Structure 1
Amino acid sequence: MKTCDNASVGIVITDRHGRYLIFDRATFPVGASPAAGHIDDHGSAEDAGRAEVEEELGLTVTSLTRVTGGWRDNRCRRRPDARGTGHDWTVYQATVTGDLTPSARETKNVRWIAPDALQELADRTVAYAQGRVTDAEFEAAPGVEPVWMEWLADIAAIKVSPDDLLQVELLTR
């Protein structure tokens, strides 16, 4: 099992209609999210962002703009390193080109969704954090991957109250 490098990138991709490119994760953690991954041996966060979009979606990044980020105590499927559990995130807005060719190993249900549909997924994650959606129900029809709720709120892609964000944050640990 790989050791976590405690450094992650996330890449928000929108089209000219304002829709978000998201997918359900085929591996832990459960949830719908934009492309993301560890920096590992990619070098810089930008290099990792470009590589993750290519790996997960088959698209080529033509531009990256850092939009948010910071330390989060979110766990991952890798073994923790000396820093423990968590990741220093760098989140980008990206422009892409190419034909969408999703990775069957990492993604499922890849789709472009309108902002209101993204908000519905966020609301499902809040309901899950509040115990109104069971683990099995969330796994069968996931909302936004919990670690992404803060990043999407930071960039005004979703609306969520500070109290609800705190509840969702507990799901990431």
Structure 2
Amino acid sequence: MTTCDSTSVGILITDHRGRYLVVERATLPHGTAPAAGHIDDHGRSEDAARAEVEEELGLTVTGLTRITGGWRENRCRWLPGACGTGHEWTVFQAAVSGELVPSARETRNVRWLDADTLLDLADRTVVHAQGQLSGAEFEAAPGIEPVWIRWLVDVTAIHISCDDLLRVEQVTR
């Protein structure tokens, strides 16, 4: 099994109507989220962001702006790396071009979500973090991937209470 390099990128893509491009992860960790992945052998975080958008969505990145990031104690499907369980994240806003061609291996249910629907999915993640929704129920009909709640709060795409944010952060570990 692969050992995690403890570095990740996330790529927020919006359209001219302000909708967010999201996928349901076909692999662990479960949830709905923007494109993301490990930096691995991609070199720089910008290179990884471009590669992940191409791999997951079939789109070409035409512009990248770093919008948030930092260390998150979130699990992944790989063995923990030298830094333990978690990742140093760099989250970008990306401009893209091309035709959306999602990866069947990495993604399911790729779609554009308006801000209200994004918040509804975040609320489902909060309900899961509060213990009112089992892991199996969350996997069957996922909310936002827990690690993404913080990033979406940081960029004011969603708003949740500080208490709920802390609860969600507990389930990322």
Q: Indicate the TM-score class for this superposition, using the shorter chain for normalisation.
A: over 0.9
TM-superposed deviation, 1:84: 1.1
- So what's the TM-score if we normalise by structure 2? 0.99
Q: Write the distance in 2 (CA, Å) between the matches of 1:77 and 1:62.
A: 29
Equivalent residue runs for 1:24-43 within 5 Å: 24-43=24-43
Matched with 1:148 is 148
Query: One-letter code of the match for 2:104?
Result: A
Q: Write the distance in 1 (CA, Å) between the matches of 2:95 and 2:127.
A: 32
TM-superposed deviation, 1:81: 1.8
Matched with 1:101 is 101
- So what's the TM-score if we normalise by structure 1? 0.99
Q: Gapped runs of 5+ residues in structure 1? A: none
Query: One-letter code of the match for 2:96?
Result: V
Q: Write the distance in 1 (CA, Å) between the matches of 2:63 and 2:35.
A: 15
Matched with 1:21 is 21
CA RMSD of aligned residues (A): 0.6
Matched with 1:136 is 136
Q: Counterpart of 2:133 in 1: which secondary structure? A: coil
Q: Write the distance in 2 (CA, Å) between the matches of 1:170 and 1:11.
A: 23
Q: Write the distance in 2 (CA, Å) between the matches of 1:113 and 1:152.
A: 13
> Following superposition, which runs of at least 4 residues in structure 1 exceed 3 angstroms of deviation?
none
Aligned-residue sequence identity (percent) comes to: 69
Q: Gapped runs of 5+ residues in structure 2? A: none
Matched with 2:168 is 168
